[in-house]
Amino acid sequence: MSDNLELVKKHIGEYPDFPKKGILFKDIFTALRNGPVCQALKHLLVEHVRQTCPDAKVIVGLEARGFLFSLMIAAELGISCVPIRKKGKLPGPCVQYEYELEYGTDIFEIQKDSIEPGQKVVVIDDLLATGGSMEAANKLVQQIGGVVEQNIVVIELTTLGGRNKLESSGWKVHSFIQYHDVE
């Protein structure tokens, strides 16, 4: 597994001063432009879920990059794939959760009937920073009766404290790549 991880890590792009001055943006899309890296990442994600959450019945992907990974894992494991989106982008009855951003608030939604009560769920996104969006997703899953087994991210910016926020609420977190020196 470490060869796959090193291959993915090697292809993560960096963009200084994006989206604003002082930020060193870690870009998963540069890795996804390479077919063998996509295969390595798929293998890492699927095997991790297989080994750590064998009873998971739903993979929840967060808008928008989490969608890339949720379908890939769900299809490989033959389980459900459910999106969490920003307000107003999902049809039918939805449950909402408002969460705080650095400057203001946003609202996530999940379709009310997308997870059956008691189903075990893995929540995935590309990156964990402050943990606000992942926390909102976990609360939405719980509101409709799902049980969050684990949160998985490809990249974690450790200095921003997202892991601590999630783990202090009792949620498990796994990241494949950690950066300790990112603003």
Q: Check 33, 102, 109, 167 and give the catalytic one.
A: 102
Given a contact cutoff of 8 angstroms between Cβ atoms, the answer to whether 47 and 32 are in contact is: no
> Which pair of structure tokens corresponds to residue 173?
């977190």
Q: Check 65, 109, 135, 163 and give the catalytic one.
A: 65
106 phi-psi bin (left φ>0, alpha ψ -120 to 50, beta other): beta
Catalytic (active site) residue 116? no
> Which pair of structure tokens corresponds to residue 133?
């969006």
Catalytic (active site) residue 50? no
- State how far the Cα of 71 lies from the Cα of 33, in Å rounded to an integer: 18
- State how far the Cα of 21 lies from the Cα of 47, in Å rounded to an integer: 37
Q: Which residues are catalytic?
A: 65, 102
